[in-house]
Structure 1
Amino acid sequence: MKVLGCLDIEVDTSLPAERVVRVLDRLPQQRGLPKQLRVDNGSELISAKLLDWCEEHRIEVVHIQPGKPQQNAFIERFNGSFRREFLNAYLFENLTQVREMAWLWRTDYNEQRPHESLGNLPPAIYRVKLENSSYDCLSLREVDICSYEWQNTL
């Protein structure tokens, strides 16, 4: 499985299940829905709201084992890049600034930044090469491609 970019990014002081579902509701407009959702055991990812949403959309939910982040290695790699290249690289003045800059970072990550796992192509270019590709599994974690819980440290 190859990660074909950051599908969405949500930044706030907390991200309950309702917010995760709202982000997932945006996916069909972008790439369609995955067949499987791989998640850790964060409270928002084991909630009835998320599980009901997945059942309604016929998406299999796979929970990784507690304490086994390697079972979600692709998102762990993404989280490390996001933390190193974005969160640890800037001092933010407010949540609005974080949101705006996160969206710009996401755009660069998807459209400009070469990815070694994709033959040093950005995901947007790699995806064009795959023509009509679909993704089978979406990986989520408390800190993930769909949401990032921003710790207000100002």
Structure 2
Amino acid sequence: MFTADGIDVIKTPPQAPRANAFAERWVGTVRRECTDLMLIVNERHLATVLADYTSHYNDHRPHRSLGQQPPNPPPRIVDVTAARIKRRPILDGLINEYSQAA
């Protein structure tokens, strides 16, 4: 499937954690900011937590390499000095997201 789209598949060597730096960075970020701070009960709970965190990571969390913007930024820029701010807790308050109040 990948070769049909012109994508080269590169196999990483077994037990070489530095071979896939992007995956290692993602796993480390998820562990530091999310799963190390929670008690995960079962696989379903883990899937829910990871889905919520992934949404937060891509839609709201600032990324240094993107000029403090998320990968999927909101459609409009808001002047936060003149707007009312609303806080929305994510993962039962482990993370908070802020947006303009209506």
Q: What TM-score results when the alignment is normalised by the length of structure 2? A: 0.59
SS of equivalent to 1:78: helix
Task: Tell me which residue corresponds to 1:35.
Answer: none
- TM-align CA RMSD: 2.3
Taking the aligned partners of 1:75 and 1:92, their CA distance within structure 2 comes to 21
Identity %: 34
* Residue 49 of structure 2 is aligned to residue 101 of structure 1: yes
Please state if 1:73 is matched with 2:21: yes
* TM-score, scaled relative to structure 1: 0.41
Report 1:47-86 matches (<5 A). Answer: 53-86=1-34
How far apart in 2 are the matches of 1:93 and 1:78? Answer: 22
Residues 59-93 of structure 1 show CA distances to partners (whole Å, capped at 9, x for unaligned) of 21012345543342222111100111222111022
Give the count of matched residue pairs: 74
More helix by share: 1
In structure 1, what is the Cα distance between the partners aligned to 2:49 and 2:24?
21
Unpaired runs of 5+ in structure 1? 1-52, 127-154
Q: In 2, distance between residues paired with 1:68 and 1:92?
A: 27
Deviations 1:76-131 (A, max 9, x none): 111100111222111022222211111110000001111111111111129xxxxx
Segments of 4+ in structure 1 off by > 2 A?
53-59, 63-72
Decide which structure has the larger Cα Rg and report it.
2
* 2:19 matches 1:88: no
State the one-letter code of the partner of 1:95. Answer: E
Evaluate the alpha carbon distance shift between residue 64 and residue 96 of structure 1 in structure 2; reply closer, same or farther with a 3 A threshold: closer
Whichever residue aligns with residue 116 of structure 1, its letter is R
Between the aligned partners of 2:41 and 2:18, the Cα distance in structure 1 is 34
